[in-house]
């Protein structure tokens, strides 16, 4: 009797298999896992549904962090079905995530005037931020956010880049918007808590992380990052001025918009009042 496998069941099976092989592509000890990948090429009589299924597979592999494996399947997809702007952008994302920044940058630049412009600007911003190019990172991430103004991930990354650059006051708005757009996203909430710590409000930071139910390891990571960023900014400011050791930004933590307080802190009703 012939077996019928639904599209979702097939994708789930493939993801389960590749998680064992491609899941280590985040590298162990700094080295990628080069174990052979299973064959995921669809039958020769491929239909439109097979094409859509394969693209879903690539998306899910990247969502699970199997970027090296996704690069192989992007090549396989291109050979079978041809190229698309999304495929090129996902290739650039995978190249960026695996440290191949020059190749990723070249692909992103070729996508800045089409329907993949926003994620391409976002990818360029992340590359510039990792390289320590604060102005270029801010420009690219801001363009991504303007093209997709309700994308919480873009706003959160823009705010984080500004925190890394010591621009705490300018980081407030994108981080607040991101947190209100996607309050259940751990990364978004962590960046908001990081902002609170860097502006001197540890009580609010703890309340934000507690409200979001972040695990202890994540909370410790946020606190450690706040210490590192604060020290780095103080050193940079001191080296420029010769005397100043300020933490940057003029916005006081108590001036956070009331709507954000009401959503993320139990002290909102008390602290938001004049």
- Per-residue three-class SS string for 137-163: HHHHHHHHHHHCCCCHHHHHHHHHHHH
**272/204 Cα distance (integer angstroms):** 12
Average confidence (pLDDT) over 164-189: 95
Residue 232, pLDDT score: 86
For 140, counting Cβ atoms within 10 Å of its Cβ (0-12 exposed, 13-18 middle, 19+ buried), the class is buried
Q: Which of 56, 53, 60, 54 is nearest to 75 (CA)?
A: 54
Residue 28 β-bridge partners: 31
Helix-, strand-, coil-residue percentages of the chain, each rounded to 5: 70, 0, 30
Average confidence (pLDDT) over 207-226: 93
**Residue 242 — pLDDT band, cuts 50, 70, 90?**
low
Taking only the tens place, the pLDDT of each residue in 35-50 is 334 444 444 444 556 8
pTM of the model: 0.72
Residue given tokens 């990354």 in the structure block: 157
Of 20 and 76, the one with more pLDDT: 76
**120/248 Cα distance (integer angstroms):** 30
Q: Nearest 5 degrees, angle CA 27-CA 28-CA 30?
A: 70
Average confidence (pLDDT) over 119-137: 95
CA distances (Å), origin 51, targets 4, 38, 43, 228, 230: 18, 18, 11, 46, 48
**72/164 Cα distance (integer angstroms):** 34
For 171, counting Cβ atoms within 10 Å of its Cβ (0-12 exposed, 13-18 middle, 19+ buried), the class is buried
Helix axes 117-130, 101-109, angle to 10 degrees: 150
- Give the lowest-confidence range in 1-15, 22-36, 206-220: 22-36
- Give the lowest-confidence range in 41-50, 133-142, 187-196: 41-50
Taking only the tens place, the pLDDT of each residue in 79-103 is 999 999 999 999 999 999 999 999 9
Residue 236, pLDDT score: 78
């Amino acid at each position: 009797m012939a077996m019928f496998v639904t599209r979702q069941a097939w994708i789930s099976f493939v993801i389960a298999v590749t998680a064992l092989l491609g899941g280590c592509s985040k590298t162990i000890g700094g080295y990628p896992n080069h174990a052979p990948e299973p064959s995921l090429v669809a039958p020769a009589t491929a239909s439109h549904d097979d094409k859509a299924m394969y693209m879903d597979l690539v998306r899910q592999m990247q969502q699970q962090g199997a970027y090296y494996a996704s690069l192989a399947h992007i090549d396989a997809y291109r050979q079978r079905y041809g190229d698309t702007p999304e495929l090129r952008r996902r290739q650039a994302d995978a190249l960026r995530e695996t440290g191949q920044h020059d190749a990723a940058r070249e692909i992103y630049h070729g996508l800045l005037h089409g329907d993949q412009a926003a994620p391409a600007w976002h990818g360029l911003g992340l590359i510039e931020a990792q390289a320590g190019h604060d102005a270029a990172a801010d420009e690219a991430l801001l363009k991504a956010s303007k093209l997709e103004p309700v994308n919480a991930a873009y706003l959160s990354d823009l705010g984080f880049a500004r925190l890394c650059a010591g621009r705490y006051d300018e980081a407030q708005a994108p981080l607040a918007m991101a947190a209100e757009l996607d309050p259940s996203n751990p990364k978004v909430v962590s960046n908001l808590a990081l902002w609170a710590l860097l502006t001197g409000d540890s009580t609010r930071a703890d309340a934000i992380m507690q409200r979001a139910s972040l695990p202890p390891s994540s909370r410790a990571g946020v606190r450690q990052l706040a210490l590192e960023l604060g020290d780095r900014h103080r050193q940079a400011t001191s080296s420029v001025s010769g005397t100043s050791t300020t933490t940057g930004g003029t916005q006081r933590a108590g001036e956070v918009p009331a709507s954000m307080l009401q959503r993320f802190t139990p002290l909102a009703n008390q602290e938001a009042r004049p």
